Chains A and B, each alone.
Chain A
Amino acid sequence: MKKREVPKPKREKEFWLILIFIAALAFRLFFALRTSGFTGDDSYFNLRQIESIKKSGMPILHDNLSYSGRTFAFLPGMHYLLAGISFIFSRFISNEILFKIVLNFFAATAAIIAYMIIFELSHNRNAGLVAAFATAFSPIFLNSTINSISTFSISIPLNLLLVYFFIKSEYDMRAVTRFMAVLILASFTDSLVMILLIGIIFYILMISTEDMPESPSRLELVIFSIIFVFWVNFIVFKSAFLTHGVGMIWRNIPSAISSQYFFRINIINIIYRINVIPFIAGIYVLYNYTIREKKKNIYIFAGIIFVLLMMLWLKLVEFWIGLMLISVFFALLLGYFCHSLSSYLAKTKIAGKLEGIAAVFISLLIVSTVASAWQYANSASADSLSQNQEEALNFLAEVQSEEAVISAPESGMPIEYFSKKKTVMDSEFLMIPNINERYADIKTLYQTPYETKALEIMDKYDADIIYLSDTEREEFSIISLKFVGDEKCFELLYNNSVMIYRKLCRLGTAG
């Protein structure tokens, strides 16, 4: 294994990198701390799991609340990490704020890793800084991680770190051990690493068709990684695989709403969402360095992006997850594009005006990226659980009831977290039998004008409380419930934009 001399980053450039990191963290925290709630219902699922680990050392695997009793299958790496951090710091700071700070800190480290990757490939510090900036302010990555307790905050930096160590593993033996350590962490965080590995397999296929030799250490890493990651996922999700078979990929999402998660891409949509500058730059780099100049390490990005696009096209990966990964990898390629552009311009007659051109390019990049990032971050912050909803959920916690609460799937997890009440449905659909029927029943309940129909459905699921917030209004295209006119049968318990009804009667047999 040849040892390669890599120039060390200069202090001045490190200052700029730290500045980008701090700016990204500050930007993230500005939006995250504007609201007390979290965005996305799975944040509340994660909160419950973290609290359970902190309390008992074990996550909730058999839950009495979700779907009025079910089994969970998930990778608990992030939950254990956050439970540990909370154990140390929760005396000084509330869990909600602590998790927002910690997760945004992890997510912002993606910028540093992006710098390391592009610096490793190009030995050009400016290119590294551009990649760091574009990754730190990647709009979709921000949107998914800024105000959520999401595994992506940790797994995206970990996956980037895997790419970095994989690139280095060609000549540095220490990178192999580091790759393995990061792989173990990433495998227990979420399943994104599987996509990365499939991308790397494609990379190996591509370079073998080009007759490029691959270092033995990399091949060994790939063999070990495939075996390890499959092993972990098949053990953790064994029951889910047995229940759903290949359908496990689509997470048992009810067919009526699966189009919200998996939809076919069109290229304009992708360009719009990941920003036109990184897209064009990325396509140029992929074309130039895989078809014309054939740079082996660029094939890694080509393999991953090709797999992601194929998976998106075949609807094998959720649209937002696929797009988030693509946008991060295009941000990296933007950095490499800058390296390529500056090397080219340096050889031309306008070499003397390079700094001016760079200033224009960077200004353009900053304006377009930050504007887009601001818009997405704002929307993530605005989509968080509102004060009204939080108050309603706290009220629900005081309501005495042994039966379940009916709500839209997206309201299920906040209800379980705040009110500790059983729910009929939430958005963790895995291993739930007859999911389509359940969703159809809930939809019918919210839309029916008939009291008997509503009672029939509530009796079927042993539910006595109906939760009506903006989520339900939007999901089922309603303004209010039509069947609740009879006060003897449905009592309005809470009314403050969110409405909570309790069922007082039961369907009887005429006699």
Chain B
Amino acid sequence: MKHSNKKKKITKHAETKKKRIAILPIIYTIVVLLFMFAVFHAYRNAFTGGLPAGSEGYYHERMAKAINEKGILSYDSLSFSGRTYIFSAYDYLLALAGKVTGVRAASIWIPLAMAIISVFAFYGIMRKSGMKESSINIALLILAATPAFAYSALTSNPQIAAAAFLLSAFYFYMREEKAAVVLSAILFGFASLFGAAALLISLSIAGIFTIKHPERKKRFSALLGIFALMSVTYIITIAKFGLLPISFGKSLSSIVLELGALSGIGIFELILAGIGLLYAWASKDRNYLPISMTALLLLLFLFGMNVSVYLAFACAFFSSLAINFLDERKWSLNILRGASIILILCGLLFSGLTFMGRAVNMEPDSGIVDAFSWLSNNYSGGNVLSVPKNGFYTEYFGMKAFSDDNFEYAPNLEQRLNASQQIFYSRDLDKTMAELAKNNITYIVITPEMKNGLVWRKEQEGLLFLLRNNETFKNVHLESTQAGSIEIWNVVPQVQTAG
């Protein structure tokens, strides 16, 4: 009896130890993530006064504040001089959390929390699918260092929240317990509210998994009902505004970090993922789910959808397979094995460092914020014209933006973009004035970036030439920044003379 108790104790101890070891990679991954988070915010606190990075965050922060003030939103009076509000569950999530912590704090902490949740869920999925312990550990560490994932954890955006809900939902979908089934249905439902891409991916991941697990057919049928319910939001939007135009052919520059994509994937990880994909293809029966999901993600990417976060998970998975393959393979020359693995690790590390080096210097800097803040204090109505990426700042400070980066269902989008082009590039004062008056543009904000190739390439090009006319344009503010001066111009209303 005593002997059997002792044996039980030993077994229990071994199990606890095993569990502890199994949880270690998650702890390492979260430590890496927290370290990046700390460095990122410490740097931004020191050099930009702690401004949240990325213009998109300012949009969501404004909408969350509006939700807290007005309740359910249906109209946004500042974006594109006023438009129908396109529902995003992320804004409501921020608003809800903002009630406790304040919206600004929520927009910093929620992405991090969602990134941590998605790490747990990703870990759970990999364990549940019987992946090797060593591959799981590597995949988690690679994920933490993947720029697309780190970017989502460090900036306020709906993608990471969608990924967290979706992965958690799928983790519970894989489990047998009844409570898990209910939980997965609820979480899939929530994930679908974060955008059409999330809905499509949720539907596909559950569907593909069910094909190989026919015993889950009933569950999937129930899930289909939930997806149908959740897609009502999108169906109403499509019925109201029509289908979004598909923009084919996203370039490599929008997904490869080294080619300029900040929220992309490092070239080494892509090479590794390619090797991993080839390796996985050899046993495609076992890896049918990641292979088909990656194919779907690449398709969505080509159709112009923002799926870089999901691709980060896929790349981390395949890269870990590749590293495992390279490590376990019987090399004819051991020096090649060592050299290859060292180079890969250095490559991944450099990608991470490159990302951090660029991420900490992301827009906005204090110059932009000060300039828009000045304008908001001296704003006398009308539309503010700048490049679309500055639109979210304009709106954040309570002014009407002529255009912003949220092109989805924007009213008269093409006409507005054409008008911007006309104003920026024409040297005909009468035509420009007519266009400004027609669109009720009262202020023009010019950043150094616009003068350095984003809009103009020559000193006296288009509007820059016309701005010399001080009867029509008044330079009301000049904000000096490291990159140059931000200019704010007031369009002087023209007095109509009779006869």
Give A230 Cβ to nearest chain B Cβ, in Å: 6
B389 lies within 8 A of chain A by Cβ? no
CA distance A217 to B340 in the complex (A): 13
Given A173-B333, A180-B336, A223-B326: A231 touches B253 (CB 8 Å cut-off): no
**Which of A224, A242, A248, A437 contacts B336, CB < 8 Å?**
A224
Interface stretch, picked from B159-167, B363-371, B378-386, B450-458, is B450-458
Interface stretch, picked from A233-241, A276-284, A327-335, is A233-241
Q: Tell me if A216 and B332 are in contact (CB < 8 A).
A: yes
**Which of B267, B333, B343, B347 contacts A220, CB < 8 Å?**
B333
Given A217-B332, A220-B336: A231 touches B252 (CB 8 Å cut-off): no
Q: Tell me if B258 and A234 are in contact (CB < 8 A).
A: yes
Which A residues touch B458, using CB under 8 A? 437
B196 lies within 8 A of chain A by Cβ? no
Q: Tell me if A235 and B350 are in contact (CB < 8 A).
A: yes
B300 lies within 8 A of chain A by Cβ? no
Q: Closest residue of chain B to A243, judged by CB?
A: B260
Q: Closest residue of chain A to B347, judged by CB?
A: A231
B268 lies within 8 A of chain A by Cβ? yes
CA distance A227 to B335 in the complex (A): 14
Which B residues touch A238, using CB under 8 A? 258, 354
B407 lies within 8 A of chain A by Cβ? no
**Which of A216, A246, A434 contacts B252, CB < 8 Å?**
A246
Per the 8 Å Cβ criterion, residues 267-281 of B in contact with A are 267-268, 271, 275
CA distance A436 to B457 in the complex (A): 9
A57 lies within 8 A of chain B by Cβ? no
Q: Closest residue of chain A to B275, judged by CB?
A: A223
B75 lies within 8 A of chain A by Cβ? no
Give B281 Cβ to nearest chain A Cβ, in Å: 12
Q: Tell me if B340 and A223 are in contact (CB < 8 A).
A: yes
Give A233 Cβ to nearest chain B Cβ, in Å: 10
Give B447 Cβ to nearest chain A Cβ, in Å: 16
B302 lies within 8 A of chain A by Cβ? no
A226 lies within 8 A of chain B by Cβ? yes
B38 lies within 8 A of chain A by Cβ? no
Q: Tell me if A224 and B346 are in contact (CB < 8 A).
A: no
B72 lies within 8 A of chain A by Cβ? no
**Which of B251, B268, B331, B354 contacts A231, CB < 8 Å?**
B268
B360 lies within 8 A of chain A by Cβ? no
Q: Tell me if B252 and A227 are in contact (CB < 8 A).
A: no
Per the 8 Å Cβ criterion, residues 204-234 of A in contact with B are 216-217, 220-221, 223-224, 226-228, 230-231, 234
CA distance A230 to B332 in the complex (A): 23
Q: Tell me if A434 and B453 are in contact (CB < 8 A).
A: yes
B498 lies within 8 A of chain A by Cβ? no
Q: Tell me if A245 and B332 are in contact (CB < 8 A).
A: no
Give B258 Cβ to nearest chain A Cβ, in Å: 5
A433 lies within 8 A of chain B by Cβ? yes
Per the 8 Å Cβ criterion, residues 294-352 of B in contact with A are 326, 330-333, 335-337, 339-340, 343-344, 346-347, 350
CA distance A62 to B330 in the complex (A): 45
Q: Tell me if A241 and B259 are in contact (CB < 8 A).
A: yes
Q: Per-residue CB proximity of A152-193 to B under 8 Å, as 1/0?
A: 000000000000000000000100110010000000000000
**Which of B251, B337, B453 contacts A433, CB < 8 Å?**
B453
Which A residues touch B339, using CB under 8 A? 180, 224, 228
Which B residues touch A235, using CB under 8 A? 350
CA distance A177 to B452 in the complex (A): 49
Q: Tell me if B267 and A230 are in contact (CB < 8 A).
A: yes
CA distance A437 to B252 in the complex (A): 26
CA distance A238 to B258 in the complex (A): 7
A1 lies within 8 A of chain B by Cβ? yes
CA distance A226 to B205 in the complex (A): 33
Q: Tell me if A227 and B258 are in contact (CB < 8 A).
A: no
Q: Closest residue of chain B to A440, judged by CB?
A: B458
CA distance A45 to B167 in the complex (A): 55
Given A216-B332, A217-B332, A220-B336: A227 touches B347 (CB 8 Å cut-off): yes
CA distance A245 to B260 in the complex (A): 6
Q: Tell me if B332 and A246 are in contact (CB < 8 A).
A: no
CA distance A460 to B459 in the complex (A): 10
Given A217-B332, A434-B453: A227 touches B350 (CB 8 Å cut-off): no
Which B residues touch A1, using CB under 8 A? 332
Given A220-B333, A241-B259: A228 touches B343 (CB 8 Å cut-off): yes
Give A505 Cβ to nearest chain B Cβ, in Å: 21
Which A residues touch B260, using CB under 8 A? 241-242, 245
CA distance A60 to B37 in the complex (A): 37
Given A173-B332, A176-B336: A245 touches B350 (CB 8 Å cut-off): no
Give B254 Cβ to nearest chain A Cβ, in Å: 9
**Which of A173, A220, A227, A436 contacts B271, CB < 8 Å?**
A227
A sample of 27 cross-chain residue pairs with beta-carbon separation below 8 angstroms, ordered by A number, consists of: A173-B332, A177-B335, A180-B335, A216-B330, A217-B333, A220-B331, A220-B337, A223-B275, A224-B339, A226-B271, A227-B340, A227-B347, A230-B268, A230-B347, A231-B347, A234-B347, A234-B350, A235-B350, A238-B354, A241-B260, A242-B258, A245-B260, A246-B252, A246-B259, A433-B453, A437-B457, A460-B459
Could you list 9 further interchain pairs (A-B, Cβ under 8 angstroms) beyond the known A180-B336, A238-B354, A248-B259? A173-B333, A177-B335, A216-B332, A217-B333, A228-B343, A231-B343, A231-B346, A246-B259, A437-B457
Chain B residues close to A by CB (< 8 Å): 251-253, 258-260, 267-268, 271, 275, 326, 330-333, 335-337, 339-340, 343-344, 346-347, 350, 354, 358, 452-453, 457-459
Chain A residues close to B by CB (< 8 Å): 1, 173, 176-177, 180, 216-217, 220-221, 223-224, 226-228, 230-231, 234-235, 238, 241-242, 245-246, 248, 433-434, 436-437, 460
The 8 closest A-B pairs by CB, nearest first: A245-B253, A217-B332, A245-B259, A245-B260, A224-B340, A227-B343, A224-B336, A220-B336
